[in-house]
Amino acid sequence: MAQSFIMESCNCIEPQWPADELLMKYQYISDFFIALAYFSIPLELIYFVKKSAVFPYRWVLVQFGAFIVLCGATHLINLWTFTMHSRTVAVVMTTAKVLTAAVSCATALMLVHIIPDLLSVKTRELFLKNKAAELDREMGLIRTQEETGRHVRMLTHEIRSTLDRHTILRTTLVELGRTLALEECALWMPTRTGLELQLSYTLRQQNPVGYTVPIHLPVINQVFGSNRALKISPNSPVARLRPISGKYVPGEVVAVRVPLLHLSNFQINDWPELSTKRYALMVLMLPSNSARQWHVHELELVEVVADQVAVALSHAAILEESMRARDLLFEQNVALDLARREAETAIRARNDFLAVMNHEMRTPMHAIIALSSLLQETELTPEQRLMVETILKSSNLLATLINDVLDLSRLEDGSLQLEKGTFNLHSVFKEVLNLIKPVASVKKLLVTLNIASDVPVYAVGDEKRLMQTILNVSGNAVKFSKEGSISMAASVIKPESLREYRTAEFFPVPSEGQFYLRVQVKDMGSGISPQDMPKLFTKFTQTQPLATRNSGGSGLGLAICKRFVNLMDGSIWVDSDGLGKGCTASFIVKLGFPERPYETKLPFAPKVQGNHIQTNFGGLKVLVMDDNGVGRSVTKGLLIHLGCDVTTVGSSDDCMRTVSLEHKVVFIDVSMDCYELASRVRERFGKRQERPLVVALTGNTDKATKDNCIRFGLDGVILKPISVDKMRNVLAELLEHRVLFEAM
């Protein structure tokens, strides 16, 4: 450009240098190419940026593009300036240059910001790559752990699926060997003495010989001291399971302790800090010449397995114990059963013996007593009579003794059962009184009996044994009294007062239908000293000094009484103020109320045992109403035959005139106005307990009759013809239940 101006200013010189034309040509071509390049670069940039999805600096590229384009434009325009050019071109050129300058400066400034950013992208990329590598590593770790976990679960399942100790241990070794691809796996168990470890199980070797090592080796102590799996030297005695052959590099060896629980000191709170110090040693060897190493997860696996084995072994131990206990119990059961059978045999033998002896003893006794009594009836001299009397007395005594002994033995083995029947309680006392009165009067003793008003006349219980008890107690009172009086008192204990009689062994409870009878016999005789008190009811002990022994008594009486009283759910005791101050014997027994009340108010109630049909109605006043003469006489005859006091009437009015509370039953022959009559009778006497029962006699078997009777309030309906037996039953039934409706 400068050249062109110079050329213009001095228009005098010759034409251009010919060398410069070549240079200009080259410049011309270079500029052209530069422009080309300058125009194509942005195009390329745009093309590739469009292609790439991620490029954050588009604005920069636009700037860059603009810069390059303008540069290119500049160079292109430069082409025109080599020759003569107009002012427009110059202007354009200048504009282009100015623009280019502006853009390029702007771009330069922009690049200052951008280039550091771009560089940092690179750093981030590096960082991310590292992170990815790390994650990969961790993934690898987790996978390994999960695998380990799976192995552990599988192993545990295998181990715990059996309760047999040997199977557990074998399975452990096998599974571990398989999971970890071990060369050898061995278990050392402590011996009974606890001083050595014995090789008990191995994986590969079939039958391990009883190879032992002392337990206090340092390596062993080290392993036992930690609950981790520790690497040990392959040369240690526990690891040297195979004879060293040739050169091979043994694989790494790991040992772990397996706690052995002893049943006796298994405490749930101690686990896992065990109070026992017994461990077994598990040794695991990696394959030799393999350059494999123990990884952490493998060690963890081993530790977990060791713990599981310990648990499984403890379960197996518990099972063994319980089996042993069960076997023991079984044996004991068998032994007990045998003992029981032997005891039963013994009892049976004893009973048989007693039964036989019973008979054998009684027969001669009977002979002696019978013949002696007969002898007594014959003509005897006074000395002979005395002798016979003595024989009789002694044999009677002996007979009583035999009876007592047999009774007691039956009582002892519980084979005695009380009989249950309804009996007259009052008469029992009277009988006893009658029995002891003769002896008492000989000794000039006054005997009194006082039965309280609340004592029922009839009771349910064992009459014979109750009488025996009362007799014994009062007999004792008579025996041991030389003077004074004897008083017997019987009363019923009210349920509220039952509590006062409670003792350690006697616990009376009031119950429905039963009552407690208290009997007290008081005498003023020799009394009992406090030290003799406890021996009173024991067999065969006498509390009297030798001199008074002649008063008789075998010493069994009170013992038997006590047994009887106990069987009757009662209690017996004796109170005494001391020797010579008399004593009071009391006992309580449980008796039952009779089921059907026996009306003693009616004058015709005889002693009935169980069978309630009375054969004689003893003057029962009845009224017979029948308008048929024949029927009237027949019914009257029937009732008279049964012992009733019969009044007959022929009409309703007569009936109403005659009937009174004295009549217990009114028999009405059914006819038209009998219902009305019945209502009138009922009206007269109301609902009183003593009102006469109104019973209809009819030959009609239809239900209407019966319904009418019920409706009109009759107490019963009886079908004719009536036999004697039927009337008897009817009367009995009526008197008991006060109602009788025969099935029609």
649 in Cβ contact with 632 (< 8 Å): no
Is 706 assigned a ligand-binding role in the annotation?
Answer: no
Is 309 assigned a ligand-binding role in the annotation?
Answer: no
Kindly identify the residues of this chain, within the stretch 673-702, that bind another protein according to CB under 8 A.
699
Span near another protein by CB under 8 A; candidates 326-334, 358-366, 644-652, 716-724: 716-724
Q: Which is nearer to another protein, 542 or 616 (CB)?
A: 616
Q: Is 256 exposed, middle or buried (0-12, 13-18, 19+ CB in 10 A)?
A: buried
**SS3 category, 424:** strand
695 in Cβ contact with 734 (< 8 Å): yes
CB under 8 Å to 265, separation ≥6 — which residues?
275, 276
Is 546 assigned a ligand-binding role in the annotation?
Answer: no
| Minimum distance of another protein from residue 627's CB (angstroms) | 8
Whole-number Cα distances in Å, 487 to 320, 433, 523, 587, 602? 72, 10, 7, 14, 32
- Asked if 627 interacts with another protein (CB under 8 A), we say yes
| Minimum distance of another protein from residue 666's CB (angstroms) | 18
* Cα-Cα-Cα-Cα dihedral sign, residues 53, 59, 62, 67: negative
Span near another protein by CB under 8 A; candidates 219-227, 291-299, 322-330, 636-644: 636-644
Whole-number Cα distances in Å, 414 to 37, 409, 540, 566? 134, 9, 19, 11
The residue from 228, 292, 362, 720 that contacts another protein (CB under 8 A) is 720
Burial annotation 629-656 (CB, 10 A radius, 16+ → b, else e): eeebebbbebbeebbbbbbbbeebeebe
Q: Is 510 exposed, middle or buried (0-12, 13-18, 19+ CB in 10 A)?
A: middle
Encoded tokens for 193: 């003495």
- Asked if 633 interacts with another protein (CB under 8 A), we say yes
Is 207 assigned a ligand-binding role in the annotation?
Answer: no
The residue from 628, 651, 660, 701 that contacts another protein (CB under 8 A) is 628
Span near another protein by CB under 8 A; candidates 27-35, 319-327, 424-432, 721-729: 721-729
Kindly identify the residues of this chain, within the stretch 723-742, that bind another protein according to CB under 8 A.
723-724
- Asked if 523 interacts with another protein (CB under 8 A), we say no
| Minimum distance of another protein from residue 706's CB (angstroms) | 19
CB under 8 Å to 579, separation ≥6 — which residues?
526, 527, 528, 529
- Asked if 637 interacts with another protein (CB under 8 A), we say yes
Is 290 assigned a ligand-binding role in the annotation?
Answer: no
Q: Which residues pair with 514 in a beta bridge?
A: 592
Contacts 24+ apart (CB under 8 A), 503-512: 503/571, 505/571, 506/570, 506/571, 506/588, 508/569, 508/571, 508/588, 508/590
Q: Is 472 exposed, middle or buried (0-12, 13-18, 19+ CB in 10 A)?
A: buried
Is 709 assigned a ligand-binding role in the annotation?
Answer: no
| Minimum distance of another protein from residue 720's CB (angstroms) | 7
| Minimum distance of another protein from residue 564's CB (angstroms) | 47
Is 75 assigned a ligand-binding role in the annotation?
Answer: yes
| Minimum distance of another protein from residue 645's CB (angstroms) | 13
- Asked if 196 interacts with another protein (CB under 8 A), we say no
Q: Which is nearer to another protein, 227 or 671 (CB)?
A: 671
The helix or strand, by DSSP H or E, that contains position 707, with its residue range, turns out to be helix 703-711
Q: Which is nearer to another protein, 225 or 699 (CB)?
A: 699
Span near another protein by CB under 8 A; candidates 173-181, 189-197, 200-208, 637-645: 637-645
The residue from 36, 98, 629, 739 that contacts another protein (CB under 8 A) is 629
Instruction: Calculate the dihedral angle through the C-alpha atoms of 220, 226, 231, 233, rounding to the nearest 10 degrees.
Output: -20
The residue from 218, 414, 606, 721 that contacts another protein (CB under 8 A) is 721
- Asked if 484 interacts with another protein (CB under 8 A), we say no
Cis peptide before 234 (omega within 30 of 0): no
| Minimum distance of another protein from residue 707's CB (angstroms) | 21
Q: Is 183 exposed, middle or buried (0-12, 13-18, 19+ CB in 10 A)?
A: buried
Q: Which is nearer to another protein, 489 or 634 (CB)?
A: 634
The residue from 631, 682, 700, 741 that contacts another protein (CB under 8 A) is 631
Q: Which residues pair with 574 in a beta bridge?
A: 585
Q: Which is nearer to another protein, 472 or 635 (CB)?
A: 635
- Asked if 302 interacts with another protein (CB under 8 A), we say no
With CA atoms as reference, report the closest residue to 294 among 254, 236, 335, 239.
254
Is 476 assigned a ligand-binding role in the annotation?
Answer: yes
The residue from 112, 442, 630, 704 that contacts another protein (CB under 8 A) is 630
**Do β-strands 514-523 and 716-719 pair in parallel, antiparallel, or remain unpaired?**
unpaired
- Asked if 641 interacts with another protein (CB under 8 A), we say yes
Span near another protein by CB under 8 A; candidates 84-92, 307-315, 408-416, 718-726: 718-726
- Asked if 233 interacts with another protein (CB under 8 A), we say no
> Residues annotated as binding site?
71, 75, 476-479, 523, 539, 554, 558
> Residues annotated as binding site for Cu cation?
71, 75
List residues near another protein by CB under 8 A: 627-631, 633-634, 637-638, 640-641, 669, 671, 699, 720-724
